Structure 1
Amino acid sequence: MTRQTGRHRTASRLLALALCTVSAGAALAQERRLSPPLLQYPEERIPSYNLYGLPGLIEMPTAEMAPDATFSTTLGHAGNATRGTLSFQVLPRVIGSFRYSLLRDADLSGSRDGDYYDRSFDLRFQLLKEGTYLPALSVGLQDFVGTGIYGGEYVVATKEVAPGLRVTGGLGWGRFGSYQSFGTTGDRPGLVDGRPDSEAIGRGGTANFDRFFRGDVAAFGGISWDVTDHFRAKLEYSSDDYELERTVTSSFEKTSPWNFGIDYRFKNGNQLSLYHAYGTKIGAQLSILTNPRTAPVPGGNESYPYPVKPRNPARLADLGWTTDERRQAGIRRGLEEALDGIGISLQGMTLEGNRATVRIQNRRYQAVPQAVGRTARTMTRALPDSISQFVIVLTEGGLPTSAVALRRGDLEELEFDSAEAIYARAQIVDAVGRTPRPFPDTYPKVDWSFGPYLAYSSFDPDNPLRIDYGVRASASVMLTAGLELAGAVSQRLGGNIADGSDDVNTALPSVRTSAPLYADGSDTTLNRLTLAHFGRPAEDFYSRVTVGYLEAMYAGASAEVLWKPVDSRLGLGAEINYVRRREFDQGFGLQSNTTPSGEIPEVNGHISAYYDLGYGFHTQIDVGRYLAGDEGATLSVHREFDNGWRVGAFATKTNVSAEEFGEGSFDKGITVTIPLNWALGSQTRQASTTTIRPLTRDGGARLNVSDRLYGRVRDNHQPELAKTWGRFWR
């Protein structure tokens, strides 16, 4: 093997940082097959993004916000710093970001070969929206959870003073208060200039509350001018003295506080920026913008549904079919074939004189009400005219979840009215006691897939992005309703995840930091092989029992129960797991739970609460014991859109101290789910989900068991159905 020079090593890491940022920004799943395209934006002004990946000038912030729900990925370089940032417009007046930075030639604790990698989080809140006379006013926290090397706070105002000409001015602390400061706030005995020194370099992950808005204060400002619809020029006066860069590197030089820049905005909203910064350096940045509220194919490209077929009044009293078995078999056959043609499986049916109850599996439609509406339309064409009520039971993997009752006359009357009109007359109830038995020939049912996979490990200090690639075969057999045998086998063709270090200084048993050992164990792996039973023990209750090779690292058994009324925003659940470590080759063998750093407990589990907060926000709290035996809680909050997009964040704090946890201090991260129907325009329920963790450590680690109940059932419940009911007639 040839040895890389320092220059080549730095170049490869820069490339890896770029790939890591772009791939995360596109929400690459750990196993994905498709990259969704970029989007057109709503008719709202798109601000410039600065080198910290937030709306701003060159490095200074503005008071602007992006259009609501904007998801942005920026990759910028200036001086000796390269920064990749993911930002999300959480609310119209709140934006958050995660940043991964490379500081070259840095003599800092934790730097490798002269390169220092840093992870940080930002938040910005807009206090005032821009009006006729008043400017927009925002307050921001930069690098408030991290090492603090980019830490700073600011209050900033922005106002359009002429068409296309915007003026910004603000006050800053920390990084933003280090050049030409004119005062100090929060000074108290024992502190230098009122701001405590950061001791988080090399560890990070803690919020620096005692530093917020303390220390030297300085002013910054600038202007931006929309020269044309595509070009924007920017000028800023920076209040950052870059003391850290000048102290720890020999290659950084600043001769001026004035920075200049120009943006080129493409038609789809993406931006390419060029800068002259610090008086000495040329910089550039690419900003890729996506908005879940819009889609590449507005309205989708699925076929038009069947129209409602009105009944013949002369046949309303014809009940002859109720005693004719051949006719009933023909009714079933006709309805089954028609539904199958539109991506819906008929699993069971009960026919009475004036009511038909069908048991269906929605295979195609991301918006469940669309599947309900198409099923109801098809029933008007296939069922006898005497039937006046339809009951549609929704199932997931053979598990009945809810039942939607509709009057046939309402369908005929309201076909050309709004979806809200039919929703007002529909009944959505629990499926217990209302579910027909499955047809004898429904099971067993086999589903399989084969294709390439891509797995990645990000934010390794030695290499920001490690990738494995290969092919994977997956299969599931639904043996009976609710009883499923499933598994997946992979053949690795190449990659470098195994090159990651498993020698992590931690006081906990090695539950996740041993991942490189599993990646290096074998090229042919059994990813999982499980037998799972899903049940309905009582109304409002769901159950799951899963046994086998549960995930790449652990085998055992997992049991879960969920209480979730069909009309409630609240769900409560409990899960208990018995686990054994798998052999590193991920075959059929098991090994002891003893690791060099401690014993992994055989039993872990959680009590969970789920709540729909409204406005698309969902929250989940899990309290219990984690894989390494530590005990604590995980808080997850995500924003979900009607088209299936989800962007969220989570944080786990256990009884393990920050020192025992190691670098990162506690487990935290970001999750992004992109539904493929949003990208393709055609209907599919498949989605690509990725979890971005600044660091993977052993504290707060949870078993990766598939098909937990809440995610399986909630889309078929009333609160979720109401959100997308507008697609009932689509």
Structure 2
Amino acid sequence: MFAAFLVPGAALSDSLTTTQTNNYGVPSGLIDMPTAEMAPDAEFSITVSHFPGYTKNTATFQILPWLTGSFRYSGVDGLSPAFKIYYDRSFDVRIRLLEETDYLPAIAVGLQDFLGTGVLSSEYIVATKQINNRLRVTGGIGWGRLGSYNSFASWRNRAPFSFAGVGTGGNFRFSDYFSGRMAFFGGLSYDITDKISVSAEYSSDAYEFEEQQTRNPAAGISFNHKSPWNFGVSYRPAEGVNMRLYTLAGSEIGASVSLSLNVRKPATPSAEKAPLPVAVRDPASINDLGWTVDKAVQERTYNDFTTLLAQEQIDLVGLDITERTAHALIENDIYVADAQALGRTFRVLSRTMPASVEMFHITVTRNGMPLSTTTFRRSDLERLENAPAREALSAAVITDSLQFGDVPGPLPGLYPKLEWKIAPFMRTYTFDPDKPFRADLRLRARADWHLGKGWIVSGSTSVKILGNLDKVTRRSNSIMPHVRSNSALYNPKVGPTIDQLTIAKYSRHGPNVYSRITAGYLEMMYAGVSGEVLWKPVDSRLALGAEVNFVHPRDYDQLFGLRTRQTPGGVIPRWNGHVSAYYDFQNGFDATVHAGRYLAGDWGATLEVARSFSNGWRFGAFATKTNVSAATFGEGSFDKGIFFSIPVTWLIGQPTRQTFSDTIRPLQRDGGQRLGVDGRLYGVVNDAHRPSVAESWGKFWR
């Protein structure tokens, strides 16, 4: 964008994008070197690259059109005398500074392994220009690893990588970034056909540490850097699949495979049933109130509404009908976007309510709490069915449900209500130096018993089907109370185990205020009581909350017993809790800050930043800093990681709010650890409030 001001008449070209990745798993048409290319926005890729003795596994997400983030897990045979295979975790980030124009290249800056041990650490400034539809040319300057071959200058001293610093790795190394020796690198990529491309590059990575360890008789690695020239050929057999063969350093032959998808695109075609059309009234019947004294018509109206709403798989909680108004209380357990449930319910109202009813109100409720009420004039609904969704949003009024003194009560016989399901799930244990990935496939039965308004008894139990989590033998060396680092001790149990067994009460305390109290076996590792209060106006992007927890560690068999608070690293405190602030930026991004006391008794704060998509995908990253030193925390220095949520509807094409969610940490330590509690208030409340509903309003007519 800025280049358009630098060169008169320079028009912005399309963004310089690629679905190819290099050996480091980042967007690039080259082999080992970076480029200024970006993946398409919202592209997610997994790359496995291997040459003899060296394997890199990288997950990359295009966070924004100009911002790329990556997490990498590498294994090197014999690099360290202490390990047969040395495993390493690292994070990358790349920022595009300038878009490509007709005359100027795209320019990007990147940090590689900026938050890891530093064995792959480098920084770079790189420019890439597309010469025609097939040829792209790249040149750049690198520091760190990328400044190690034929360097032309040096700025400030940079500490070389050594295994001595691995134990406290994972911290920011601000004094190292863009310091030390610098060197030029460059390359060309050329698309021979739409499926085949070739690349050649001049590499500024001398692989110094690998060659140093090759000369170390105690290490088992063998690497010989003969040449800075690398060559590769890529083949794309199908959309989202890239395979590459390459030569590296004049001595190695390697291969890589990259699988990519764009989270905006569904994995399977939607099999969702089309909604009912809006029914337009006969103007002559609008003032007919005869139905108000006809019990048969009233009963038929109610039955028709409940029948059609059930066909839409939306739960009816309550319904009030007067001469001019209909107010439905619903619970949406099926559609990812509440806007879609609202649109379908309004349609059903238009088809079943007497013609005199002009005002429609729909209140969305969850866990017994009315969250928001959306009001639509029936005449607007009839007029706008074929208009753009934004016009319908302008006509809708979304307010706090407590502004309505006549919110329908629950239907007779609604409570108690039992919901249950049985489904498989996977429990994982990652990044163990003895074996990087272990998992158990388990079968879980879950039940939620709604006793009354806001009262829920929840429980889940599971049994192991197959897996190898019982093979984890590594024990925690933490000098903090073992609040999470001993999680492997909970894994050997085949089952049945009690994963969770709680009773919870959800309440509203006037406009904008919500509360939750949960007691029982809260999660796999802890039992106790958790209390929470949330302030969240229905039209606000800001929410504030507070949570206090009293906890006791559970027995390793995950049944009804409790174990001692005493651990080798100290005593697990009884109390923990946080104050929290949540903010929705209204562009798909949101941020959360939690500040308070963590499970091990340390005090600090957690920052979470995430991007959500209207189809339910969600990616985010978090970091926690507390008052424990990096040395006390142990390897990794502070808690950090990435999290994601994949909507099941994206995979199967059928409507469901179920998701597959997970959190990936480079290391599981004890500092900065929060209690896991099901049904925290912000996640329950936010989806039904105006900012979230407005963001997904495009689904109102679906």
TM over 0.5: yes
The answer to whether the 8 Å contact 1:130/1:159 transfers is: yes
Range that drifts further, 317-326 or 608-617: 317-326
Q: What's the CA shift string for 1:190-223, capped at 9, x where partnerless?
A: x4xx556665323311111101111111111111
CA distance, structure 2, for counterparts of residue 523 and residue 296 of structure 1: 34
Task: Confirm whether residue 503 of structure 1 aligns to residue 468 of structure 2.
Answer: no
CA contact (8 A) 2:431 2:667 kept: yes
Distance 1:107 1:591, change over 3 A: closer
1:102-121 equivalences in 2 (<5 Å): 102-107=75-80, 111-112=82-83, 114-121=84-91
Amino acid at match of 1:358: A
| Superposition deviation, residue 326 in structure 1 | 4.4
Q: Does 1:421 align with 2:376?
A: no
Secondary structure, counterpart of 1:247 in structure 2: helix
Q: Are positions 1:303 and 2:270 aligned together?
A: no
1: distance between equivalents of 2:579 and 2:25? Answer: 37
SS state at 1:432 partner: helix
Aligned to 2:11: none
Alignment of 1:274 with 2:245, yes or no, is yes
Alignment of structure 1 residues 277-426 onto 2, 5 Å = 277-297=248-268, 300-426=270-396
Q: Distance in 2 between matches of 1:310 and 1:283?
A: 66
Matched, 1:58 2:31: yes
Equivalent position SS for 2:131: strand
Q: Which amino acid aligns with 1:386?
A: S
Partner of 2:556: 584
In the TM superposition, what is the alpha-carbon distance from 1:360 to its structure 2 partner?
0.5
Does 1:230 pair with 2:203?
A: no
1:688 aligns with 2:654: no
Equivalent in the alignment of 1:520: 492
- Residues 711 and 221 of structure 1, relative CA distance in 2, 3 Å threshold: same
Shift in Å, 1:522 = 5.1
Return the offset for 1:266.
3.2
Post-superposition CA distance 1:539-572 (Å, at most 9, x none): 1111111011100111111010100000000000
Q: Which residue of 2 aligns with 1:89?
A: 62
Instruction: Report the CA distance between 1:121 and its aligned residue.
Output: 0.6
Separation in 2, partners of 1:492, 1:365: 31
Matched position secondary structure for 1:310: coil
Partners of 2:15 and 2:443 lie apart in 1 by 42
Cα 1:45/1:143, change in 2 over 3 Å: closer
Question: What CA deviation, in whole Å up to 9, does each residue of 1:508-539 have, x standing for no partner?
Answer: 11011111211124532110101111111111
Quick one: distance in 2 between partners of 1:202 and 1:258?
34
Partner letter of residue 121 of structure 2? G
Shift of 1:176: 0.4
Amino acid corresponding to residue 119 of structure 1 in structure 2: R
Cα distance, 1:502 vs structure 2 = 5.3
Unaligned 5+ runs, structure 1 = 1-41
CA distance in structure 1 between the aligned counterparts of 2:451 and 2:294, rounded to whole angstroms: 31
| 1:456 lines up with 2:421 in the alignment | no
Q: Which runs of 5+ in 2 are unaligned?
A: 1-13, 215-220
Task: Give the counterpart of 2:207 among 242, 249, 253.
Answer: 242
Counterparts of 1:556 and 1:593, CA distance in 2:
13
Decide whether the 8 Å contact of 1:482 with 1:534 is kept in 2. Answer: yes
Alignment-mate amino acid for residue 289 of structure 1: S
Matched residue, 1:140: 110
Match of 1:537 in 2: 509
Counterpart position of 1:12: none
Look up the match of 2:10. none
Query: Is 1:679 matched with 2:644?
Result: no
CA contact (8 A) 1:446 1:475 kept: yes
**Rounded Cα–Cα distance in structure 2 between residues aligned with 1:77 and 1:352:** 70
The residue aligned with 1:642 is 614
> Is the 1:489–1:526 Cα contact (8 Å) retained in structure 2?
yes
| 2:176 is equivalent to residue 211 of structure 1 | yes
2:530 pairs with 1:550: no
Residue from 245, 249, 255 that aligns with 2:226: 255
CA contact (8 A) 2:230 2:250 kept: yes
| RMSD across aligned positions (CA) | 1.6
1:139 positional shift: 0.9
* C-alpha displacement of 1:247: 1.5
Q: Is the 8 A contact 2:576 2:598 kept in 1?
A: yes
The alpha carbon displacement at 1:169 in A equals: 0.9
- The structural deviation recorded for 1:581 is 1.0
Contact 2:439 2:468 in 1 (8 A): yes
Give the Å deviation of 1:504.
2.0
Q: Distance in 2 between matches of 1:144 and 1:480?
A: 52
Partner letter of residue 100 of structure 1?
Y
> Counterpart of 1:21?
none
TM-score by length of 2: 0.94
- Correspondence list, 1:556-635, <5 A: 556-635=528-607
1:172 aligns with 2:137: no
Supply the distance in 2 between the matched residues of 1:444 and 1:421 (Cα, whole angstroms): 40
Q: Which has the higher contact order (CA 8 A, sep 6+)?
A: 1
Q: Hey, what does 2:641 align to over in structure 1?
A: 669
Contact 1:419 1:729 survives alignment (8 Å): yes
Asked if structure 2 preserves the Cα contact closer than 8 Å seen for 1:179 and 1:240, the reply is: yes
Q: How has the CA–CA distance of structure 1 residues 556 and 389 changed in structure 2, closer, same or farther, with 3 Å as cutoff?
A: same
Distance 1:552 1:48, change over 3 A: same
In structure 2, the residue corresponding to 1:381 is in which secondary structure?
A: helix
Distance in 1 (alpha carbons) for counterparts of 2:358 and 2:495: 59
Q: What letter matches 2:390 in structure 1?
A: E
Q: Give 1:328 deviation, angstroms.
A: 2.6
CA–CA distance in structure 2, aligned partners of residues 393 and 723 of structure 1: 18
Please tell me whether residue 77 in structure 1 is matched to residue 50 in structure 2: yes
Query: Do 2:16 and 2:38's aligned partners in 1 also have CA atoms closer than 8 Å?
Result: no
Deviation at 1:324, TM superposition (A): 3.9
Helix, strand or coil at the partner of 2:576: strand
Match of 1:100 in 2: 73
Residues matched between the structures, number:
679
Identity of aligned residues (%): 49
Give the deviation of 1:368 after TM superposition.
1.3
Query: In the TM superposition, what is the alpha-carbon distance from 1:347 to its structure 2 partner?
Result: 0.9
TM-score (norm 1): 0.91
Deviation at 1:238, TM superposition (A): 0.8
Contact 2:479–2:568 under 8 Å retained in 1 = no
- State the shift of 1:255 in Å: 1.2
Higher mean C-alpha deviation, range 142-151 or range 427-436: 427-436
Distance 1:231 1:311 in 2: 60
For 2:350 and 2:624, how far apart are their aligned partners in 1?
51
CA 1:195–1:695 in 2, change beyond 3 Å: closer, same or farther?
closer
Q: Secondary structure at the match of 1:200?
A: helix
User: Residue type matched to 1:103 in 2?
Assistant: V
SS of match in other structure, 1:210: coil
How far 1:714 sits from its partner (Å)?
Answer: 0.6
Distance 1:614 1:334 in 2: 38
What per-residue deviation string (whole Å, max 9, x for no partner) do you get for residues 106-165 of structure 1?
125xx42x2111001111111111111101111111111111011111111111223311
The structure-2 alpha-carbon separation of the partners of 1:587 and 1:50, relative to structure 1 and needing over 3 Å to count, comes to same
Matched position secondary structure for 2:499 = strand
Contact 2:16–2:100 at 8 Å: present in 1 too? no
Q: How big is the shift at 1:83?
A: 0.5
- Alpha-carbon distance between aligned partners in 1 of 2:510 and 2:16, rounded to the nearest angstrom: 49
Aligned counterpart in structure 2 of residue 713 of structure 1, from 678, 685, 689: 685
In the aligned structure 2, how far is the partner of 1:372 from the partner of 1:469? 37
The whole-number CA distance in structure 1 between the counterparts of 2:332 and 2:192 is 51
Whole-angstrom CA distance in 2 between matches of 1:638 and 1:274: 35
Q: Deviations over 1:307-344 (max 9, x none)?
A: 11122233222223334444333322221111011111
In 2, the alpha carbon distance for the partners of 1:306 and 1:285 equals 49
Judging changes above 3 Å, is the alpha-carbon distance between structure 1 residues 93 and 602 closer, same or farther for their aligned structure 2 residues?
same
